[in-house]
Structure 1
């Protein structure tokens, strides 16, 4: 589908129309299939994004390049019958973050290659994020330095694009780090309106000075902090009154909307208020693999209840062994005693298990689990017991379902909150 849908978001906002889009930021095949199946009923695009850590020229933690990722998503689309022309591909936090342990020049050179590969692969929404310091630099950089590095990456992106399809750009970043906070939360500072205006103005000047005036016309969004976040067991819910001054800033930023990251676990009413207030691109990721993990653990329990493949090792025990053997994806994020770390490994809302699903041993354990359900429909009482997230209180018992249906439905129920919030 043409990127006109994204280009029209600021126009719709300026005209007083309600418009928005959910950004599904995941590389898990079940999440992707569920998102595409969820989008089948609407004559609208589905936006699927890959982060710089998931997907890059070195493979990221998924082992996929941008071209690989696009091909993977399109294969999943073919499975569910979703028209591939309705898929919008986005690149998230594209910048030096995967290589920030290197000197800045080396990291930025790698980032140039990465962003060019995303654009050549047909990713039409590009979030440029150069806010982080590299080796020997402060953790966060000043706007002027961030803008200068963003210009460098946009030049690489523009040189890589085809003449027929020009990407739209998102600038800015959010705090804390993508994927959820690492500490207990009780408050989140909303972006100061003057800081938002300053970020836009500094970037505009840098783009124009670099001869990127035409590309600047395709900068449609700014990532800001509206006051939402989640940690291991905490969710900061959007409070509209705290963000009203920031929301009104859009009146002075024609052609812009806000992009909100870390909207995972927000109630439907909060998501609806975010869209109303101009935060019309809603990023969700860890929540979707969190509910998928819930479904897989539920299936593990149901298999034991039904006596299916009793010789099979328990999925949770395999996950625990692999996470302990290879702690690199969680050890710098989870803190506490042994029992506390165990709970965080399996149940933290930041869901760092998502990094482990491609592990060969875990993948084999999931395959064994799902194979045990071949030809089996799970009875409604067991669905009620082990899959409460998909139970609609006013709908009675759910129908008997397959394991695959229950996994996808868990993800779809989360996405429904976004769908209804955008359309309200």
Structure 2
């Protein structure tokens, strides 16, 4: 395997190849998702890119309670458990900028964002997405592109300082942001405006100038990716699939962007062929997050039903009822994102593609409910007919003997099943994911 940072920085060199390289970027803080991603990378002998967002992980702890150094240690402990080499992990920081503090005046928010970005680089994060696109309390909306770029350059300067302080290799950078909001749209979507080559060129040119104005020309040479909207997104109940023709002009423009490939966000739930077409079109960095915790939740709920059938002492649907109670008692992570009748909101709380239930799995009551389920099922081998009924995506692998059908194995396998299209899209060779 290559040096992880070098692999990312060299993606542009292979973007025009018959079989271009891709990079799967897993954006999640759930330990089972990270474990599955590292196993997938281990079994295919490739680099693992694991990212944290500015809201998940920052100097104040984020909603995970972890600083960047904490998150790195958390991932490395999982890597040691699954025998994945630590030096092959590319740690990433996603949407690093003032977003967690956007209710503050801009200079206050940016001061905090600079501290955060420095902390990420100081902890050894080699992939830094600079995103200062959000308006703060005293800003106009939307922000001028020049303001966004100037703030991104300030954040890059902080990252360079942090890398030196932590004695780490200088990081590579991603610039730009996507529309709509990160993590999926808040409503059903019918169509998307693909980023135009003109807008992409403007973003690149103004960022390059902003870096030069801060004396960061050499740093700009490590800008490896540009976040654009290729025409992929998911809402609560639908997915817009990639149309290569709609993004053809953008793909044709990219080779003139020097050392830059595209980074595609919200690629969750895209089929195999669409993901491969994205990589061929120069969208070489594929971000995925909610789709993996969605697959994990599917496995949890399937196991919840299986346990209710198999075990007299386990109440059927206990986990789902526990999660409903938890979400109703703390609605801040879903209320305002889900609309409709009470029944429609109920369905969305548990089954929405945007998967806002993912914010609740770290709640102590949720952890206790999951632990009760896994303790109840233990290491028993679950019957194939029940796997066919409640975990049908895994049935063929279980029937063929590729998965030992314990609760934990099935959960990891469900997450890997969601990752497998990314492995294929990025031309990962090796055994099929279990």
Query: Normalising by the residue count of structure 2, what TM-score does the alignment of the two structures yield?
Result: 0.94
The alpha carbon displacement at 1:159 in A equals: 1.2
The alpha carbon displacement at 1:40 in A equals: 1.1
Q: 1:153 matched to which residue of 2? A: 155
Q: How does 1:200-239 map to 2 (within 5 A)?
A: 200-239=204-243
- The alignment partner of 1:264 has SS state of coil
Q: Deviations over 1:342-379 (max 9, x none)?
A: 11100000000110001011111111111001231111
The alpha carbon displacement at 1:394 in A equals: 12
Instruction: Identify the range of structure 1 (153-162 vs 86-95) with the bigger mean alpha-carbon deviation.
Output: 153-162
Q: 2:76 matched to which residue of 1? A: 74
- For structure 1, the residue ranges without an aligned partner over 5 or more in a row are none
Runs of 4+ in 1 over 3 A off after TM superposition: 14-17, 391-400
Whether the 8 Å CA contact 1:308–1:373 is kept in 2: the answer is no
Q: 1:24 matched to which residue of 2? A: 26
The alpha carbon displacement at 1:389 in A equals: 2.1
Q: Deviations over 1:45-102 (max 9, x none)?
A: 1000001011111111111110110111011111111111111100000000111111
The CA distance in 1 between the partners of 2:360 and 2:160, in whole Å, is 35
The alpha carbon displacement at 1:136 in A equals: 3.6
Q: 1:264 matched to which residue of 2? A: 268
Whether the 8 Å CA contact 2:334–2:349 is kept in 1: the answer is yes
Instruction: Identify the range of structure 1 (371-380 vs 272-281) with the bigger mean alpha-carbon deviation.
Output: 371-380
- The alignment partner of 1:240 has SS state of coil
The CA distance in 1 between the partners of 2:417 and 2:141, in whole Å, is 37
Specify which of 19, 41, 44 is matched with residue 43 of structure 2.
41
- The alignment partner of 2:388 has SS state of helix
Whether the 8 Å CA contact 1:384–1:397 is kept in 2: the answer is no
Change in 2 beyond 3 A, CA 1:310/1:342: same
- For structure 2, the residue ranges without an aligned partner over 5 or more in a row are 429-434
Q: 2:193 matched to which residue of 1? A: 189
The CA distance in 2 between the partners of 1:87 and 1:330, in whole Å, is 32
Whether the 8 Å CA contact 2:254–2:260 is kept in 1: the answer is yes
The alpha carbon displacement at 1:336 in A equals: 1.3
Whether the 8 Å CA contact 2:102–2:134 is kept in 1: the answer is yes
Q: In the alignment, is residue 410 of structure 1 matched against residue 414 of structure 2?
A: yes
- The alignment partner of 2:247 has SS state of helix
Whether the 8 Å CA contact 2:384–2:398 is kept in 1: the answer is no
The CA distance in 2 between the partners of 1:311 and 1:293, in whole Å, is 18
The alpha carbon displacement at 1:188 in A equals: 0.8
Q: 1:386 matched to which residue of 2? A: 390
Q: 1:128 matched to which residue of 2? A: 130
Cα-Cα RMSD? 1.7
Query: Normalising by the residue count of structure 1, what TM-score does the alignment of the two structures yield?
Result: 0.97
